Chains A and B, each alone.
Chain A
Amino acid sequence: MLDAACAGEVFTSPVPDQMLAATRAVDGGAGVLHIVKNYTGDVMNFEMAAELASAETGTEVVAVVTDDDVAVQDSLYTAGRRGVGVTVLVEKIAGAAAEDGRSLADVAALAQRVNEQGRSMGMALTSCTVPAAGTPTFDLPENEMEIGIGIHGEPGRRRVPVASAREVAAMLVEPVLADLDFTGSDGVLAFVNGMGATPQIELYLMYHEIDQLLAKAGVTVIRSLVGSYITSLDMAGCSLTLLGLDSELLRLWDAPVSTPGLRWGV
């Protein structure tokens, strides 16, 4: 998967110095792919790091920006959509391609394709607490939930009364399917992700409801991933990511992996 990750302050993009150090540490001579989630700060800091890497060491850097969150309306005049769940899938698939020895341009094109064929939507039952702030980012009464939240405790687009798992599943599946047609692909990868404080048993409950809705909509799930992989600290809630697969993406997804988070085939 990844050769390096840059951790910033909680919910804050890391700084160019860290990215530059990571870029230098992993550059094997074929160039470095930056996988950047589409947040204003991340994009700007990675741009500065890429400029520095190219100026200081001549390292070729290509950046792929993920922006899969359908909760955010896209427009030429805004910061655009957030990068959320699809980032995990990009990391796995692009990582496997790099492991195969593919060129930087090929790996970047694959990462781009995963981003283009993936869409996500998230919801929360509780807010989360940024340690430095010490209080929950937003107030959410017991009987309400936020639809369309991000992975940094950002509030959602709307607030609705708490509903059953089946209804919540529909609130996630419908906007994803409305944004991209998944019936035409060779099958999809369905990724149900926990936001940090939702137990695995509840994520599987959600997966079951989502799977049924997808079947009804004519979408064939051929791979699944259920667990807390891209979280918002201690937020209770989940997100759904769908990725339209083809034979190449499927093979790279299935390729052996051994990381603390993902482990199969080894």
Chain B
Amino acid sequence: MPAAVLDTDALTRWLREFADAVAAEKQHLTQLDSAIGDADHGTNVDRGMTAVLAALEETPPTTVGEMFKLVGMTLVSKVGGASGPLLGTFFLRFGTTAGNHASIDAAVFAAALRAGLGGVVARGKAVAGDKTMYDALAPAVDALDDALARGDDLGAALGAAAEAANDGRDATTPMLARKGRASYLGERSIGHQDPGATSSALLIDAAARALG
């Protein structure tokens, strides 16, 4: 497998790609949240990612670990709601596993994503099928590991991860929500795509486009 080198510039491109996607999909995300939540998901993640890009510009990090600590702390401080702690913890754990290095390779990137997913589970206590961001992230992390294990390069592996995230997102539509605000609706949550899974799929898709 050709060694992919992901430095802070490349990883910033990933976050920028994600921020652009969230900005473009802001209304759609809020619309999905209106159906089963409280109509703020697009606005919140957009506000958080705008702050993240500003923070990275103001204090350009020299290591990957430092970078994602800043990203995570910014999201925790700016977003609120459930997305703030969940996305924030995701990036904080990602940064801890990535470590204080100028760049990371594909294997460390995959390990950092898995650690991030672990953070989401620790904070939100969601399991597969609860109709949450976990349902898009977990299949993506599995697909990335599988693809790297069979020798795919990072581009192909991230492509597989993005596909798995999108499938996972689509699969939330028929689910009965058991976590988050959508769970208050009971049966009425069925038939609506989960906004958190939707923004998480955008995150993985952005990685495939920026880092692949």
Quick check: B44 and A12 within 8 Å, CB to CB? yes
Quick check: A14 and B38 within 8 Å, CB to CB? no
Q: Which of A73-81, A100-108, A109-117, A175-183 contacts B (4 or more CB under 8 A)?
A: A73-81
Residues of B close to A48: CB separation below 8 A: 76, 85
Residues of A close to B85: CB separation below 8 A: 16, 41, 44-45, 47-48
Contact of A152 with B181 at beta-carbon distance under 8 Å, contacts A13-B80, A16-B76 already known: yes
Interface range, B side:
20 to 34
Residues of A close to B179: CB separation below 8 A: 40, 78-79
How many angstroms from the CA of A10 to the CA of B78 in the assembled complex? 13
How many angstroms from the CA of A41 to the CA of B57 in the assembled complex? 28
Quick check: A13 and B34 within 8 Å, CB to CB? no
Q: Among B43, B84, B123, B178, point to the contact of A13 (Cβ < 8 A).
A: B84
Q: Among A13, A47, A82, A138, point to the contact of B184 (Cβ < 8 A).
A: A82
How many angstroms from the CA of A139 to the CA of B83 in the assembled complex? 25
Interface of A is mostly: loop
Interface residues of B in 117-144 (CB under 8 A from A): 123-124
Interface string of B160-187 (1 = CB under 8 A from A): 0000000000000000011111011110
Quick check: A132 and B43 within 8 Å, CB to CB? yes
Interface range, A side:
35 or more
Quick check: A8 and B81 within 8 Å, CB to CB? yes
Chain A nearest Cβ from B96, distance in angstroms: 16
Quick check: A39 and B44 within 8 Å, CB to CB? no
Quick check: A15 and B76 within 8 Å, CB to CB? yes
Verify if A157 is at the interface (C-beta below 8 Å from B): yes
Quick check: B34 and A137 within 8 Å, CB to CB? yes
Quick check: A79 and B80 within 8 Å, CB to CB? no
Which residue of chain B has its CB nearest to the CB of A46? B85
Verify if B40 is at the interface (C-beta below 8 Å from A): yes
Residues of B close to A13: CB separation below 8 A: 80-82, 84
Verify if A53 is at the interface (C-beta below 8 Å from B): no
Chain A nearest Cβ from B172, distance in angstroms: 16
Quick check: B44 and A9 within 8 Å, CB to CB? yes
Quick check: B188 and A15 within 8 Å, CB to CB? no
Interface string of A1-12 (1 = CB under 8 A from B): 000000011111
Quick check: A11 and B39 within 8 Å, CB to CB? yes
Q: Among B43, B80, B177, point to the contact of A8 (Cβ < 8 A).
A: B80
How many angstroms from the CA of A157 to the CA of B184 in the assembled complex? 8
Interface of B is mostly: helix
Verify if B8 is at the interface (C-beta below 8 Å from A): no
Central interface residue in B30, B79, B184, B188, by most chain A CB within 10 Å: B184
Quick check: B37 and A154 within 8 Å, CB to CB? yes
Quick check: B78 and A15 within 8 Å, CB to CB? yes
Q: Among B43, B84, B183, point to the contact of A41 (Cβ < 8 A).
A: B84
Contact of A44 with B123 at beta-carbon distance under 8 Å, contacts A8-B80, A14-B80 already known: yes
Residues of B close to A243: CB separation below 8 A: none
Quick check: A157 and B82 within 8 Å, CB to CB? no
Verify if B110 is at the interface (C-beta below 8 Å from A): no
Verify if A165 is at the interface (C-beta below 8 Å from B): no
Verify if A196 is at the interface (C-beta below 8 Å from B): no
Quick check: B30 and A133 within 8 Å, CB to CB? yes
Residues of A close to B47: CB separation below 8 A: 9
How many angstroms from the CA of A233 to the CA of B26 in the assembled complex? 22
Interface string of B47-90 (1 = CB under 8 A from A): 10000000000000000000000000000111111111110000
How many angstroms from the CA of A10 to the CA of B80 in the assembled complex? 10
Which residue of chain A has its CB nearest to the CB of B180? A40
Residues of A close to B84: CB separation below 8 A: 13, 15, 41, 45
Given contacts A11-B39, A44-B124, 19 further A-B contacts (CB under 8 A): A8-B80, A8-B81, A9-B43, A9-B44, A40-B82, A40-B179, A40-B181, A41-B84, A48-B76, A72-B186, A75-B178, A130-B39, A132-B40, A137-B38, A138-B34, A152-B38, A154-B38, A155-B188, A157-B184
10 closest cross-chain pairs (CB), A and B: A41-B82, A41-B81, A44-B85, A152-B38, A12-B81, A40-B82, A12-B80, A78-B183, A132-B43, A8-B80
A-B contact pairs, 19 of them (CB 8 A): A9-B40, A11-B38, A13-B80, A13-B82, A13-B84, A15-B78, A40-B82, A41-B83, A44-B85, A78-B183, A79-B184, A82-B184, A130-B38, A130-B40, A133-B40, A137-B34, A150-B181, A153-B38, A157-B185
